[in-house]
Amino acid sequence: MTESRRVGLIGVGNMGGAMAERLCGLGWTVGVRDIEPAREAECVRAGAAAHATPAALAAAHAVVIVAVVDAAQCDAVLFGDDGLVLGASRDGACVVLCPTLGPSSTEAIAARLGERGIGCIDAPMSGGPARARDGSMSLMVACADALFERQRALLEGLSVKLFRIGERPGDGARTKLVNNLLAAINLAGAAEAIALAERVGLDPARTLDVIEQSSGQSWIGSDRMRRALAGDLAARAHTTLLAKDSRLAMAMAAEAGFEAPLGRTAAERFRVACAAGYGALDDASLLQLLRESGG
């Protein structure tokens, strides 16, 4: 196995774990690090090797994918005690940054890595664990052209829906926030429509059948409302994630001087859902919140 086919992953939860499984299946030598031993164990069963710290992982793998939740966690695993930068080699070292972050956070991380001679690929992901596992998730990539070409095999292995956004770090993050704001608007709207259908005496599943074949259809609305109607709120995408992402999107809009009333309403729906105790549930739980609150 050549060095170019070695990769580490920090954060192997729903998305990171699915990416690790995919890369193992494609024949990559994969190392993993997570604060949850059970998650590491799942990846080891798939063929990965566990490492004790981010620094140890970086010492063994020049290229490391970071798939933690937020900017604070990124700072901790990259620059904290036993962080990646302590073990990274300057020879071809590269971080692939996959969480949904604010653009300023992505820019700051890329700059700090660059000061240490470590490349940074801004590559937020979208699509959920099943799509990460089969390689059909989306990756929105912003980095220098030369760095993109060096890591093309890895990026194409992770995703058949690889979008080359540009060279400016942070533009991947900006694209992801625009996408996720629309996802939040679509999901909030779908939950509201199905809750209204129930309130006026319609069969919600049959109503969703109609929507899916008509002008109201959206992928996230169909996916989440089918689960909600089946009473399945086991978390694939926690409600906290769209709450965070829509909040970051609204902050980006405010910084740009752009008024986004629909986005603001959707972000407030997810904030209220988290405050009401739905944060750890799947974001399909928005329907249950509207049922209980009467809209």
Q: What does DSSP say about strands 125-126 and 138-142: parallel, antiparallel, or unpaired?
A: antiparallel
Q: Which of 267, 265, 178, 193 is nearest to 224 (CA)?
A: 193
Which two structure tokens, joined as six digits, stand for 51?
């490492």
For the chain, give the number of residues. 295
Sort 213 into a burial class: Cβ within 10 Å, 0-12 / 13-18 / 19+: exposed
Catalytic residue, chosen from 61, 131, 133, 176, is 176
Token pair belonging to 102: 């604010």
Give residue for tokens 């400016």.
168
Match 């990756």 to its residue by tokens: 139
Residue 19 neighbours by CB distance under 10 Å: 29
3-class secondary-structure state, position 50? strand
Read off the tokens for 10.
Answer: 């920090």
Residue 244 bears catalytic tag: no
Is 63 strand, coil or helix? strand
Q: Tokens at residue 148, please?
A: 């993109």
Which amino acid is residue 123, in one-letter code?
A: A
Cα 204 to Cα 200, 210, 225, distances in angstroms: 10, 10, 9
Report which secondary-structure segment, H or E, holds 99.
none
What are the catalytic residues?
176
